[in-house]
Amino acid sequence: MSLLRTVRNMRAVGFKEWFRQMTYIGDAKFGKCVGQDQFGNKYFEELDWEKEVPGRHRWVDYSQDDFNASQVPPGWHSWLHHIRKLPPTEDPIVKAVTPPWIAPFRENLTGTRGQNQTYSTTAPKVRAWEPVVKARGEGKADASA
């Protein structure tokens, strides 16, 4: 990341947005917004190689402060990683091929309160040992007789 590119992008996006980008992604970026997904994440692209480092010209601006990569739907994931040239909002193949039976995308909730909790409906095959406790003093009366 060069200082000139950082200053140029700060002037383009403004100080407030530049500071937010530096806080969350550690880089100052400016580009064309190509779409938004159902979670509110915004996707950007900058094709000018003089303004953006080649290979890092597509990025996502997450809507949540606590973000991870599982919040990106599969169609947008394929666009971010250059599997598809057009974003899913413009790609006719993605629109035509998406079957109606596919469930809506959900982010991975592992490690949060919303994670899947498994349970068993069968009785356990091994039962824990439960000791039988005798009252104190019962054995002494028998020993003295």
Tokens 């439960």 sit on residue? 130
Torsion of CA 12, 16, 18, 23, to 10 degrees: -170
Tokens found for residue 134: 């005798």
What's the rounded Cα separation, in Å, for the pair 135 and 145? 19
pLDDT digits (tens, 9 = 90+) for 128-138: 888 888 888 76
pLDDT digits (tens, 9 = 90+) for 76-130: 999 999 898 899 888 888 878 778 888 888 888 888 888 888 888 888 888 888 8
Long-range Cβ contacts of 52-58 (<8 Å, 24+ apart): 52/5, 53/1, 57/31, 58/82
Residue 76's contacts (CB-CB under 8 Å, 6 or more residues apart) are 35, 37, 41, 43, 60, 87, 88
Report the SS3 class of residue 60: strand
Maximum CA extent, the chain: 103
pTM of the model: 0.66
Most confident of 20-24, 67-71, 84-88: 84-88
pLDDT digits (tens, 9 = 90+) for 28-43: 788 888 999 988 999 9
Residue 35's contacts (CB-CB under 8 Å, 6 or more residues apart) are 42, 43, 76, 87, 88, 89, 90
